[in-house]
Chains A and B, each alone.
Chain A
Amino acid sequence: TQLLEQSPQFLSIQEGENLTVYCNSSSVFSSLQWYRQEPGEGPVLLVTVVTGGEVKKLKRLTFQFGDARKDSSLHITAAQPGDTGLYLCAGGGGNYGQNFVFGPGTRLSVLP
């Protein structure tokens, strides 16, 4: 069974600070996805990374897929209160035939 771990579990920072959250596994994934979920809503896809070592940028968010395709990180520059939410990584499915799994999430709170 492939599992995803995320750290930290909780993070509370001031507006303007930078932060990095991590997603790790002992399994290789064909791709990893990052989502953000706000209370009362379903997760919203932020990015999909598919190539080992890949780096993708989405405005102030930078996503990286590890060379071995077992881990990923999300870096937010100059965090804003609107970044507050539950950040989830997910992987599996696809051509590897793995079940699609989500990590437990990092709950981020950005204080004004």
Chain B
Amino acid sequence: KAGVTQTPRYLIKTRGQQVTLSCSPISGHRSVSWYQQTPGQGLQFLFEYFSETQRNKGNFPGRFSGRQFSNSRSEMNVSTLELGDSALYLCASSWGMVGTYEQYFGPGTRLTVT
């Protein structure tokens, strides 16, 4: 069974630009969650999507948004990038609700904002 894939793996953007990251979950998984990981703040929950609906959202500004498609693939968008958005963005998929079912992480997208 193929694992969670994330594209691109590395990205360099300039302040003020926007970026879209993509995540393909494990086949059959309906839940996709996004996390931001930085050395200072650790792993922080961004949001969870289940069957195309956002089920839960962390404490991030509205510049961070996401969506999920009917095939469970998910995208995350960050608008008006700031230097502090530089981070490893991780996507995880699970069969059901986060915390109840096992979630499997992708390798992440390393975003650098200059």
Contact = CB atoms under 8 A, between A and B. Distances in A.
Do A and B make up one complex? Answer: yes
Interface of A: 1, 29-31, 33, 35, 40-45, 48, 88, 90-96, 98-105
Contact of A30 (B4, B44, B58, B99): B99
B99 A91 contact: yes
Interface residues of B, number: 25
A100 B56 contact: yes
Task: Decide if the interface of chain B is mainly helix, strand, loop or mixed.
Answer: strand
Most buried by A among B35, B59, B106: B35
A103 B44 CA distance: 9
B90 A100 contact: no
Nearest to A95: B100
A45 B102 contact: yes
B56 A99 contact: yes
